[in-house]
Amino acid sequence: MEIWTERAQQILGLQLTTEQLAAFERYKHELIEWNSRFNLTAIRDESGIEIKHFLDSLTCILAFEPSSPPRSLIDVGTGAGFPGIPLKLIYPHMRLTLVESIQKKAGFCQHVVETLGLRQVTVLAQRAEDVGQDPQHREAYDVATGRAVAPMPTLVEYLLPLVRIGGMVIMQKGENAPAETQQSEKVIARLGGQLRKIMPIALPAVVEDRYLVVLDKVAQTPAEYPRRTGLPAKQPLSG
């Protein structure tokens, strides 16, 4: 665990406590054990999990205001809990909702939540479109995150409806992030968002370009978005 925790301090200014380190260690071993039975993630080695899952998830912190971390966060298409659960381990008082439509992955997330004794965490085995139209969740969060979930026009249709005005969307993207963002500007505006910044991210021993695309929620999302299940992916919005 030493390499990634050193990088967390260097890159993010995080000094992890003994309790946090123990929680990440338990999380890692649960992921490895479940991965031997279910295909939760393609990354299966310990160093890969530490860097490409844990550290990569925590880079979302770079988009937060240091003096006021989010009080609530919803992570859409969380898979095995990324980036939501690592962020919860850093901000234990943050209310977290994990959205994952694949039942086995949602089940793993619930198992980790219970195993680590995390409070104020809800796991929803639902489609993002249904959650986005649910009054309990619509425009209810400070931050919405999505990591390797979908092309940007689809992803912003999933995420922006969930964030309150004044809140923020963080999309973790690869090398096409700048081009995707430029092509999605009109869609972002239509859904009530505005680009704040595109942040390049460097991870140790990872050669692929990584970016955080950060949007501010500046206006209410029109009621018809997100559209019914499947449409955002099959018929992405365009300018």
Q: Does the global pTM surpass 0.85?
A: yes
Joined tokens for residue 215 = 């949007």
Residue pair 7/204 in contact (Cβ under 8 Å)? The answer is: yes
Q: What was the pLDDT predicted at 66?
A: 81
- DSSP conformational letter for 54: I
> For residue range 53-92, what is the model confidence (pLDDT) as tens digits?
999 999 999 999 888 899 999 999 999 999 999 999 999 9
Rounded Cα gap, residues 209 and 3, in angstroms: 20
Which pLDDT tens digits describe the chain residue by residue (239 residues)? Answer: 678 889 899 999 999 999 999 999 999 999 999 998 888 888 888 888 999 999 999 999 999 988 889 999 999 999 999 999 999 999 999 999 999 999 999 999 999 999 999 999 999 999 999 999 999 999 999 999 999 789 999 999 999 999 999 999 999 999 999 999 999 999 999 999 999 999 999 888 787 889 999 999 999 999 999 999 999 999 999 97
Q: What was the pLDDT predicted at 1?
A: 63
The CATH architecture assigned to 2-234 reads 3-Layer(aba) Sandwich (3.40)
Taking alpha carbons only, the member of 62, 123, 122 closest to residue 90 is 62
How buried is 130 (Cβ within 10 angstroms: 0-12 exposed, 13-18 middle, 19+ buried)? Answer: middle
Residues in CB range of 108: below 8 A, 6 or more apart: 30, 31, 34, 38, 40, 80, 81
